[in-house]
């Protein structure tokens, strides 16, 4: 059974703080890793697709890194804003149609 773990499960940060969280996945059978952002009552929205060890992706104040050898990816948010409040999901792809999601990290940014 392949497990994808995300930590922490939830966190609260002050506006302006930078934060990061982790997605841990099996280090074998790696095809890709996806990050999604999911606001309450909305649809999950794709942030990044990462495929190569050492990949770094950036979109505005959000960035992500990937280490496939040790099986983890970090998502960073610089200067958090209240609109960043959401659940951040990662999905590990281990083959065709083999998407395994984590339970997410719920972020609350306090104004």
Partner 1 sequence: ETGVTQTPRHLVMGMTNKKSLKCEQHLGHNAMYWYKQSAKKPLELMFVYNFKEQTENNSVPSRFSPECPNSSHLFLHLHTLQPEDSALYLCASSPLAGGDTDTQYFGPGTRLTVL
Positions that interact with partner 1 (CB under 8 A): 4, 31-32, 34, 36, 41-46, 49, 51, 89, 91, 93, 96-97, 99-104
How far apart are CB 19 and partner 1 at their closest, in Å?
21
Q: Which is nearer to partner 1, 79 or 98 (CB)?
A: 98
Cβ–Cβ < 8 Å for 64, 73? yes
Q: Which is nearer to partner 1, 41 or 111 (CB)?
A: 41
Cβ–Cβ < 8 Å for 4, 25? yes
Q: Which residues have CB under 8 Å from 102's CB, separation 6+?
A: 4, 5, 6, 23, 89, 90, 91, 92
d(CA 16, CA 108) in angstroms, rounded, equals 12
How far apart are CB 95 and partner 1 at their closest, in Å?
8
Q: Which is nearer to partner 1, 27 or 103 (CB)?
A: 103
How far apart are CB 6 and partner 1 at their closest, in Å?
9
How far apart are CB 18 and partner 1 at their closest, in Å?
26
Cβ–Cβ < 8 Å for 56, 47? no
């Amino acid at each position: 059974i392949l497990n994808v773990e995300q930590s922490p499960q939830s966190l609260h940060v002050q506006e302006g703080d930078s934060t990061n969280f982790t997605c841990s996945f099996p280090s074998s059978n790696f095809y890709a890793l996806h990050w999604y952002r999911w606001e309450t009552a909305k649809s999950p929205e794709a942030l990044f697709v990462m495929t190569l060890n050492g990949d770094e992706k950036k979109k505005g104040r959000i960035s992500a890194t990937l280490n496939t050898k040790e099986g983890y990816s970090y998502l960073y948010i610089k200067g958090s804003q209240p609109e960043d409040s959401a659940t951040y999901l990662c999905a590990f792809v281990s083959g065709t149609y083999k998407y395994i999601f984590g339970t997410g990290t719920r972020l609350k940014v306090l104004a």
